[in-house]
Amino acid sequence: MLDLDQIILAGPGYGAAGQIYADAAAAQLRTSTFAREVHTTHVSLSTMGADAAALGAATLVLHSHLTSGAR
């Protein structure tokens, strides 16, 4: 279970019709989550561009290689 304040949709799949997905997700969260009585969960689109997910994945790979010996 997650208690999120914000969900950000990112990636090329949200380019043309992203706002439709964001609106649908927000509507679903407003009607079906237990936390809706406590606070709302804001759903928005990333402003980082279509390649944000790929950059994040590449960052994780680089981080794991650069810090593999450090603990």
pLDDT for residue 1: 63
| Nearest one of 40, 55, 38, 48 to 7, comparing CA atoms | 40
Looking at the chain, the whole-number percentage of residues with pLDDT higher than 90 is 30
Q: What is the pTM of this model?
A: 0.63
pLDDT for residue 42: 92
**Domain locations in the chain as residue ranges:** 6-66
pLDDT for residue 35: 63
Could you report the per-residue pLDDT of 13-45, keeping only the tens digit for each? 787 889 999 999 999 888 886 766 777 889 999
pLDDT for residue 26: 92
Burial of 30-69, coded b for 16+ CB within 10 Å and e otherwise, reads eeebeeeeeeebebeeeeeeeebbeeeeeeeeeeeeeeee
